[in-house]
Amino acid sequence: MLFLAKLSSLMTSPDRGATCAAIRCLIAYAEGLEDCRIEVIASEGAIVLSGVAPSDQARQRAIAIAGEYAGTRIINNIVIQANRGSSIETGIGSSSSPAPSGLTAALKPPKEVT
């Protein structure tokens, strides 16, 4: 299992890339987010999520994971794509507060390569 500590202090340090990498990892290994392609960057004290999610539920889960870990404002630029051919909703928005506490990412083990 993968355990990462909440390190919101990284948002103010020169190495914000570590926070983004940790959030990317949490989202990549969260159950139910396998079909998401979400990029994470830090911009002006906020975390920006962009990319594609298969449903609004998956998008909201990714936002909750990022908010809980970063403890800062999350900007949502994730597009919902029901099938590979067409986008349905842009879902651009932002949150001025972090996700409620207690939302933990259910992590799954990496897939075995044979």
Structure tokens that stand for 30 in this block: 């969260």
Instruction: Indicate if the pLDDT at residue 108 is higher than 60.
Output: no
- Ranges assigned E (strand) in 31-112: 37-43, 46-53, 74-80, 92-95
Question: Mind listing the pLDDT tens digit for each residue in 5-55?
Answer: 544 444 445 568 899 999 999 999 999 999 999 999 999 889 999 999 999
At 29 the pLDDT is 94
State the helix-helix crossing angle for 16-28 and 56-70, rounded to 10 degrees.
Answer: 140
Structure tokens that stand for 108 in this block: 């799954």
Backbone angles phi, psi at 7, to 5 degrees: -125, 65
Instruction: Indicate if the pLDDT at residue 112 is higher than 70.
Output: no
At 23 the pLDDT is 96
Instruction: Please say whether the beta carbons of 78 and 52 come within 8 A.
Output: yes
Instruction: Indicate if the pLDDT at residue 99 is higher than 70.
Output: no
Q: What is the DSSP letter of 8?
A: G
At 59 the pLDDT is 96
pTM of the model: 0.63
Question: Mind listing the pLDDT tens digit for each residue in 61-92?
Answer: 999 999 999 888 999 999 998 665 544 444 45
Instruction: Give the separation between CA 71 and CA 98, rounded to whole angstroms.
Output: 5
Instruction: Give the separation between CA 82 and CA 105, rounded to whole angstroms.
Output: 23
